[in-house]
Amino acid sequence: MRCLLSESLLINKYNFAVFMGVLLSLFYCMVFNSYKAMSPVKKTPVYFFSHGGPTFMYEDEEGGDSGAYRKVQYIGKEITEKVKPKGIVIFSAHWQASKDEVEVNTSTDSDLIYDFYGFPKYMYEETFEHSGSAEIANKVLDLFEKNGIKAKPTKRSIDHGVWVPFKVAFDPNTNPLRCPIVQVSLYDNENPEKHYALGQALAPLREEGIVIIGSGMSVHNLRDLFRLRSDKPTDYAISFDEALKDAVTLYTGESRKQALIDICERRDARKAHPTFDHLFPIHIAAGAAGDDSAKRLYSNQVGSMAWGQFRFGAVE
């Protein structure tokens, strides 16, 4: 009888210990989940690059900008050493799909497009090792679908609006990029709201460790570049570049969206950008940034061009 009683007490103690263990586990789980819910979700920053032409690959080459070159190198280090992204989604001025539909590059192994003309032969021999990601490309397509944006997959090489600034930012010898790149097209239209919506739709990727970059120029008038052949900044290069800075950095969220829509109606807008393909990547970046503040990291007005480099959001 004593044996049975002792055994019963041992079993009860064991069951009580198990019960308390389960109770403590549930308590810690609730505390942890509560802490997670209260903690802000870490988001990657968003960037806008002014990328110039192939001369930008060389720090002191005529036609580039040495200050922009050094700043993009700095941003590249910031991305690889501090942000450490799982992937990069980039929109370049040099890929426009159709009026009402964009395209997403699903290729995992693509070449370079040398989409520039009349430059020295060695510039066409430059290389940039990179890889794509079908997984990230499909995330992009899914987010577009959820937001009512028409998009289709395609396989394509990357243009110089991607690989030229990336070659500066992510020098394979000193600062290699160790994550995939997915390029997405612009629309072939001049609707700032539709381009802003592209970035807005992809904002959730920032919570998955993916960096979003727009690549264009803050001022871009090739006609006057060849006509004037002078480094003295034009009046519109100065005025529009500063207006763009104000639109991006003085506002956030819907106010910034409206400021970026309004900037397209300025009197100097069509001089600064005879077409808006080099401007709209910053609308996309702003859309992805949402309510995050922005900072212009660098700019320089040279002739009919301006080299604004921007970051949206914080780097932790």
Q: From the centroid of its chain, how far is CA 168? A: 16
Q: Is 231 exposed, middle or buried (0-12, 13-18, 19+ CB in 10 A)?
A: exposed
- Asked: is 44-312 a CATH 3.40.830.10 domain? The reply is yes
The dihedrals phi and psi of 166, each to the nearest 5 degrees, come to -70, -30
Q: What is the pLDDT of residue 4?
A: 43
pLDDT tens, 60-106? Answer: 888 899 999 999 999 999 999 999 999 999 999 999 999 999 999 99
Q: What is the pLDDT of residue 12?
A: 54
Average pLDDT, the chain: 91
Q: Are 198 and 184 in contact (CB under 8 A)?
A: yes
pLDDT tens, 147-160? Answer: 999 999 999 999 99
Q: Are strands 46-50 and 210-216 parallel, antiparallel or unpaired?
A: parallel
Question: Can you tell me the mean pLDDT for 14-39?
Answer: 47
Looking up tokens 């969220």 gives 253
pTM of the model: 0.88
Residue 14 has pLDDT above 60, yes or no: no
